Structure 1
Amino acid sequence: MAGTLLAPLSGIPLERLMQMAVERGYSAQGEMFSVADMGRLAQEALGCQAELLCGGLGGPNRDRVLQHLVAGHPLLVPYDEDFNHEPCQKKGHKAHWAVSTGVLLGVQGVPSPGYAEDPELPGLFHPMPGMPCQPPALPDEGSAGAVYLLSKQGKSWHYQLWDYNQVRDSNLQLTDFSPSRATDGREYVVPAGGVRAGLCGQALLLRPQDSSH
């Protein structure tokens, strides 16, 4: 899904990504319990830059993530998936990957020039294509300003808006391997240190190869 933004003309088939992951020892059957391995796979398969983000999506990393999304680049984030695909907290037992490709910011005032109000949704403003525009000030982490990530999980047909703090909190509690997976008789590739070392508090910032930070 991130590849459609980063390399829309290359069209890397999912089957080829799976084959590469298995050949390189990152995965046995599609699972990916290492953010670092996912970054290596993305760089090789998509020819993109992959920055490994550690320490969670909060604190100083929050502005980096939001600026990255405002610039139009995708974020890959592991999280616990609830029955409706939204983030939840299951200690990593429901760990899945999602791609975030945009951000919805709740701000106090009308954005500066360069934005157009949605014709169907009053109060919703979009950047105008080809027009220089200054991104609005990002709400502080502890403020009442709303921040939602436009996100999609592979099994869902639709993009969803997820509260940023819910994604942050779900990503921060990925610590344990699912007991049901541990006893299902199948093989999985889990890094040294387990799910906590491979996924907890980590994400990937993906950029085209020719872009600057």
Structure 2
Amino acid sequence: MISSYSSPLEPPIHPPGNPSGQVPIIPPPLPPHLQGSASLPSSSSLQALIPPPPPLPPPPSAMGAAPPHVFGLEKSQLLKQALEKAGPPAGSREDTKRLLKLHKDRFRSDLRWILFCADLPSLIQEGPQCGLVALWMAGTVLVPPSGIPLERLVQMAMERGYTAQGEMFSVADMGRLAEEALGCEVELLRGGLGGPNRDRVLQHLVAGHPLLVPYDEDFNHEPCQRKGHKAHWAVSIGVLLGVQCVPSSGYAEDAELPGLFHPVPGMPCQPPPLPEEDLQGAVYLLAKQGKSWHYQLWDYNQVRDSNLQLTDFSPSRATGGQTYVVPAGGVRAGLCGQAVLLRP
């Protein structure tokens, strides 16, 4: 069952510039042989004594890829060091190929694979803001080039009573916030990611649109089943499909990984037949979440099962002394078997 919502974006506010910027040049003191002299050196002589200004820094394009935006980086030396060692974040295609090479035993060799993907920026969450971080990442696709500032999303969610400190335990509230903040089309998916909803989700991702999905997060960020005690949010921006044959036009085989195909940019391509639901290990979601700047490849059925068992509020959170906004009916009513489909 799918319900839908539809609000204009606020224009970005740019602070006024400071055009003055003129700094007086103070000449250096005269050398000893000129001090006390009746005749002062000319202005051209003084100008020759002033050292030349330092060279301007190189333009941003010459400095390489921008590092991921890491929330709380200025407070954590450990995060800063880890980010410096990691280098610039890889794109979705490169990260997917890295995962395919690293875990090739996970992927069926009797299938050909088609990757539909888009690139998202990285942002490491601070505190329980995984849902809003996922929405911010989706916003960079829906409202290019940079979406809506995370600080603005947090402020709006707090003002509307959706959150106390960044947490989002309601898919319905997430949908309302996405529609208002991003001005996008929102569909709320209920009844789980399987059954009749499965093809709708896959077609949505093949078309290049983001999916926001709550799940239980394991120690390695992958979906697990903890009855909602580890409830977390991710954004999916692509899908890896295992098929028996690739449509004849609109796709190109990867130069490094035989058997992996990509849609050719700018060329119309026929959507491939979606794998049957009972074909195990044939569909992987390409996802990102706020505790890592790398993409993840998750078995679709693993995500489906994790999403479908979000029923209980974490006991450690309940006794931790923090305030959270939980909808009537708890985690089961707010998250279980639900997701958010976003379109421009």
Task: Give me the whole-angstrom Cα distance separating, in 2, the residues matched to 1:20 and 1:129.
Answer: 37
Deviation at 1:10, TM superposition (A): 5.2
Q: Which runs of 4+ in 1 moved over 6 A?
A: none
Aligned positions of 1:38-187 closer than 5 A? 38-144=174-280, 146-187=282-323
Show CA shifts across 1:142-174 (max 9, x none).
124600000011111101110000000000000
What is the identity percentage for the equivalent residue pairs of Structure 1 and Structure 2? 88
Kept after mapping to 2: 8 A contact 1:77/1:202: yes
Q: Mind listing any 5+ residue stretches in structure 2 that lack a counterpart?
A: 1-136
Task: Give me the whole-angstrom Cα distance separating, in 1, the residues matched to 2:145 and 2:243.
Answer: 36
Show CA shifts across 1:104-142 (max 9, x none).
001111332100111111111000111111111001101
Aligned positions of 1:29-44 closer than 5 A? 29-44=165-180
Task: Give me the whole-angstrom Cα distance separating, in 1, the residues matched to 2:234 and 2:164.
Answer: 20
Task: Give me the whole-angstrom Cα distance separating, in 1, the residues matched to 2:176 and 2:318.
Answer: 26
Q: 1:87 to 1:145 in 2, by over 3 A?
A: closer
Counterpart of 1:113 in 2: which secondary structure? coil
TM-score for the superposition, normalised by structure 1: 0.96
Residue 80 of structure 2: aligned partner: none
Counterpart of 1:167 in 2: which secondary structure? helix
TM-score for the superposition, normalised by structure 2: 0.60
1:12 is aligned to 2:148: yes
Q: 1:89 to 1:145 in 2, by over 3 A?
A: closer
Counterpart of 1:77 in 2: which secondary structure? strand
Show CA shifts across 1:56-88 (max 9, x none).
000000000000000000000000001111000
Deviation at 1:33, TM superposition (A): 0.2
Q: Mind listing any 5+ residue stretches in structure 1 that lack a counterpart?
A: 209-213
Task: Give me the whole-angstrom Cα distance separating, in 2, the residues matched to 1:167 and 1:112.
Answer: 31
Residue 82 of structure 2: aligned partner: none
Deviates more, 1:64-73 or 1:107-116: 107-116
C-alpha root-mean-square deviation of aligned residues, in Å? 0.9
Residue 21 of structure 1: aligned partner: 157
Number of equivalent positions: 208
Deviates more, 1:12-21 or 1:52-61: 12-21
Kept after mapping to 2: 8 A contact 1:111/1:125: no
Kept after mapping to 2: 8 A contact 1:112/1:136: no
Task: Give me the whole-angstrom Cα distance separating, in 2, the residues matched to 1:66 and 1:60.
Answer: 11
Kept after mapping to 1: 8 A contact 2:246/2:272: no
Deviates more, 1:53-62 or 1:124-133: 124-133
